[in-house]
Amino acid sequence: MAKKDTYKIILSGGGTGGHIYPAIAIANEIKSRYPDAEFLFVGAKDRMEMEKVPQAGYDIKGLWISGIQRKLTLKNLSFPFKVNSSLFKSRKIIKAFKPDIAIGTGGFASGPLLYVAASNKIPTLIQEQNSFPGITNKLLGKKVDKICVAYDNLERFFPKDKLIKTGNPVRQDLLDIDTKTVEAKNHFNLKHAKFTLLVIGGSLGSRRINELIEKELDFLDTQNVQIIWQCGKLYYQQYKIYGNTKNVQVYEFLNNMDFAYAAADIVISRAGAISVSELCIVGKPVIFIPSPNVAEDHQTKNAMAVVKNNAALIIKEEDLDADFENKFSQLIASAEKQKELGKNIKKLALVNATKEIVDEVEKLLKK
């Protein structure tokens, strides 16, 4: 075993921000405890982790891997070859790097890497963000040593003795956003007395949320709001024209999420696990619009875990045309309802998740 402070840590997770940012948050916390530790990330080639991880200051290697398409498609024919290629490359990476622990945060790239690590008796930990696990983590659950989760009742999917409820790792700069409101509004050149709506559809964007905001711009203007609209990388060319509109700012991606949350009075968001965890810490009134296009409709389950505590509103995609204007105008008209939702969602926050996950990492390192 490596000496203290000289640990070698390998992390894998990606495909979306919901898998990448937890891995980066965990790495940052380990680095704060062990400044001389060495880190290596492993992701899927051509996915956003190949850009975001180096931006965070870490090395990354890419695997030729992607998921199985749910529909019958020619892409599925290459899947066995991708798995074999990724297992072969994972073995080479692990043999060369010699990690003391392997940490997975979901996404297809973490499957081969964590499988190889566990097969080589390297301590392994996975972090599952959702109330309904992804296929990669479900398959890995039997092989890894520990599973850190954010929701109750996951014994249906994982061995009970391996489960530790920690919550999801979130950006540490969200913990003090209440002190950043003035600075944040200045950063976005917002009017301080005007109501601010933040729209976020996930790291890649949401077609349905973007269509909704485009359709409702005139209505939102009548509600006297200014809008910070993250439309996502896939949609920016289509929607950037609205950034020239009075009181509307359109972004492909928001790098200063702490400022975006601090500036907001109301948030419209998808219900990906990390977004939900962040919004609990932020403590602002939220309207969740879950994506129906995810395994087992887990975004609706994530959102309902909050909504059932009278801590957020939810509108299903199929109900947007009928319900959006009514729900939004009622919420914006009621300072009392906004305060109630903000207070209740904050009660659900698990603010020490990253520290608690790394406590579990340390226990495995010191075994």
222 is an annotated ligand-binding site residue: no
> Burial of 70 by CB count in 10 Å (0-12 exposed, 13-18 middle, 19+ buried)?
exposed
> Which residues, in sequence order, are CB contacts of 179 under 8 Å at separation 6+?
none
Amino acid identity of residue 332, one-letter, is I
Name the token pair of 28. 């940052």
Q: How far is CA 91 from each of CA 40, 116, 117, 225, 314, rounded to the nearest angstrom? A: 14, 6, 8, 54, 44
230 is an annotated ligand-binding site residue: no
299 is an annotated ligand-binding site residue: yes
Q: CB of 53 within 8 A of CB of 43? A: yes
76 is an annotated ligand-binding site residue: no
310 is an annotated ligand-binding site residue: no
156 is an annotated ligand-binding site residue: no
Q: Which of 232, 235, 251 is nearest to 243 (CA)?
A: 251
Instruction: Give, to the nearest 10 degrees, the angle between helix 273-282 and helix 298-307.
Output: 20
> Which residues, in sequence order, are CB contacts of 343 under 8 Å at separation 6+?
283
43 is an annotated ligand-binding site residue: no
Q: Which helix H or strand E contains 216, and what residues bound it? A: helix 207-222
The binding site consists of 16-18, 130, 171, 203, 299
The binding site for UDP-N-acetyl-alpha-D-glucosamine consists of 16-18, 130, 171, 203, 299
